[in-house]
């Protein structure tokens, strides 16, 4: 784990990220808050590309919790059976749809606690929905952010909760809204786990990572 990076360096890193991509977007396709909840829940231990393929036809038919209940669990499985853990995910999606219809009037709640009370929705999923739909500067820490944060010292921590706090505590306020997207994209396409593409890295000159690749 790298030591916590200083404010000036972090500010310069996110200034560069912003200059390169002012409005980074999540890569999961969705049409509203409900389809975003479903897509993020399905993405656990699956790729965004795989989820998008599975939901392409699904979201043409289903964009509300009631429509999901009308489709039924077996109908949902037919759409998502290419995704890992699809049977358990289908059960959770159906349970969530029923709760949303019966307890929330068919609407997705906008608090972290309410979101996390839904089956299959953890803190990371809740933070994604809060950030992408309601524009709350919530930080969804995945394996990419955990790696980048600890490798560079931007937001080091022994677990995902500690990394989330490090982002909130150390990244300047003006960059908080898009911080997790910049870090995810950097980890996914540049600061990769096995072979980081340091030659194409925007922050190579100020990154303290000792094992930089030529």
CA 183, 30, 121: angle at the middle one, nearest 5? 70
**Counting every residue, how long is the chain?**
214
Distances 5 to 1, 9, 40, 166 between C-alpha atoms, Å: 11, 7, 30, 10
Q: Which of 142, 158, 161, 195 is catalytic?
A: 142
What does the DSSP 8-state code read for residue 108?
-
Helices (H), the chain: 7-20, 33-42, 48-61, 65-71, 73-80, 86-103, 112-116, 123-134, 143-152, 160-170, 179-189
CA distance 116 to 180: 19
Contacts of 133 (CB under 8 A, 6+ apart): 33, 36, 108
Residue 8 structure tokens: 């000036």
Q: Is the CB of residue 100 less than 8 Å from the CB of residue 93?
A: no
Q: Is the CB of residue 169 less than 8 Å from the CB of residue 213?
A: no
Q: Which of 124, 158, 161, 211 is catalytic?
A: 124
Is 124 noted as a catalytic residue in this protein? yes
Catalytic residue positions, numbered: 124, 142
């Amino acid at each position: 784990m790298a030591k916590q990076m200083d404010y000036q360096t972090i500010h310069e890193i996110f200034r560069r990220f912003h200059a390169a991509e002012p409005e980074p977007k999540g890569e999961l396709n969705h049409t509203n808050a409900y389809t975003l909840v479903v897509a993020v829940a399905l993405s656990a231990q699956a790729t965004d590309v795989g989820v998008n393929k599975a939901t392409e036809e699904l979201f043409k038919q289903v964009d509300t919790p009631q429509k999901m209940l009308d489709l039924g669990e077996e109908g949902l499985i037919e759409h998502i059976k290419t995704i890992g853990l699809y049977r358990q995910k289908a059960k959770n999606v159906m349970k969530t749809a029923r709760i949303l219809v019966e307890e929330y009037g068919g609407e997705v709640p906008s608090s972290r606690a309410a979101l996390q009370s839904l089956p299959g929705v953890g803190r990371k999923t809740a933070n994604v929905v809060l950030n992408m739909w309601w524009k709350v500067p919530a930080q969804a820490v995945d394996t990419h952010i955990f790696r980048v944060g600890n490798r560079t010292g931007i937001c080091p921590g022994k677990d995902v909760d500690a990394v989330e706090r490090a982002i909130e505590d150390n990244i300047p306020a003006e960059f908080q809204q898009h911080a997790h997207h910049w870090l995810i994209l950097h980890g996914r396409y540049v600061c990769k786990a096995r072979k980081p593409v340091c030659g194409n890295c925007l922050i190579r000159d100020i990154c303290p990572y000792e094992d930089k690749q030529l």
